[in-house]
């Protein structure tokens, strides 16, 4: 196992035998690279939650519209022209403690607020619908500069939007949200925040 810059490797393995690369809570080379790892951290966390049978949560594939295909013998078709599409819903969903769970994960370099420009209105509407149907729906926001992650319920997100604001203040997250602390073996243990908020 080769350690990349800013990464400390330890000989810890998942229950399924896969090696786990551990990064320190405070990266050795500063927070700059953290942003790129947020999605990877959530995916790793979800893998671990599945491996330990705590929850079955997956990231949905990125919607892509296929334009042109080239058929090849002995192999699957090659896509030679395609476009990214706007997601209909949120990035992550699954089941946890018998409940349907659904969330969107975003990050911002803004120091004082999360701008709504980072979310689509229909994603907020989707979270509200999930909540209305008895599910758990929230937003997970990484404030990159502060290295802080907060869970905020979808209805709270909708309330701030309905109030006419263009962003959700960091203070609102601190008051109404739940902070997800960075961990070691469990890098981003967001289900602990879900436990605290919804159970």
Q: Which residues bind a copy of itself (CB under 8 A)?
A: 50, 53, 55-56, 58, 60-64, 66, 76-85, 87-89, 93-100, 102, 126, 129-130, 132-135
Give the nearer residue to a copy of itself in terms of CB position, either 130 or 149.
Answer: 130
Give the nearer residue to a copy of itself in terms of CB position, either 25 or 52.
Answer: 52
Name 164's Cβ contacts closer than 8 Å, sequence gap at least 6. none
Least distance in angstroms from the C-beta of 110 to a copy of itself = 23
Nearest alpha carbon to residue 88 among 55, 109, 57, 60: 60
Name 140's Cβ contacts closer than 8 Å, sequence gap at least 6. 42, 103, 104, 105, 106, 149, 150, 151, 180, 190
Report which DSSP code applies to 116: G
Mapped onto helix, strand or coil, the DSSP state of residue 197 is: helix
Mapped onto helix, strand or coil, the DSSP state of residue 189 is: coil
Give the nearer residue to a copy of itself in terms of CB position, either 55 or 188.
Answer: 55
Least distance in angstroms from the C-beta of 158 to a copy of itself = 15
Give the nearer residue to a copy of itself in terms of CB position, either 61 or 164.
Answer: 61
Mapped to the 3 state alphabet, what secondary structure does 81-102 carry?
EEEECCCCCCCEEEEECCEEEE
CB 93 within 8 A of CB 129: no
Least distance in angstroms from the C-beta of 27 to a copy of itself = 27
Least distance in angstroms from the C-beta of 122 to a copy of itself = 12
Least distance in angstroms from the C-beta of 91 to a copy of itself = 11
Least distance in angstroms from the C-beta of 160 to a copy of itself = 22
Give the nearer residue to a copy of itself in terms of CB position, either 35 or 87.
Answer: 87
Give the nearer residue to a copy of itself in terms of CB position, either 147 or 155.
Answer: 155
How many CB atoms neighbour CB 132 within 10 A? 11
């Amino acid at each position: 196992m080769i350690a990349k810059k800013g990464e400390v490797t330890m000989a810890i393995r998942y229950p399924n035998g896969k090696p786990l690369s551990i990064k320190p809570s405070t990266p050795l080379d500063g927070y700059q690279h953290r942003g790129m790892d947020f999605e990877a951290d959530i995916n790793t966390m979800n893998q671990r939650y599945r491996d330990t049978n705590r929850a079955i949560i997956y990231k949905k594939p990125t919607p892509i519209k296929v334009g042109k295909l080239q058929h090849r013998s002995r192999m699957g078709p090659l896509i030679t022209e395609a476009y990214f599409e706007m997601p209909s819903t949120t990035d992550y969903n699954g089941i946890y403690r018998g409940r349907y769970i659904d969330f969107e994960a975003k990050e911002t370099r803004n120091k004082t607020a999360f701008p709504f420009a980072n979310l689509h209105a229909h994603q907020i509407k989707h979270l509200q619908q999930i909540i209305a149907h008895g599910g758990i729906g929230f937003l997970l926001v990484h404030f990159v500069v502060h290295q802080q992650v907060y869970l905020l319920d979808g209805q709270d997100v909708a309330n701030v939007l309905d109030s006419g604001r263009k962003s959700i203040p960091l203070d609102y997250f601190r008051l109404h949200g739940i902070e997800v602390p960075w961990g070691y073996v469990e890098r981003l243990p967001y289900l602990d925040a879900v436990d605290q908020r919804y159970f």
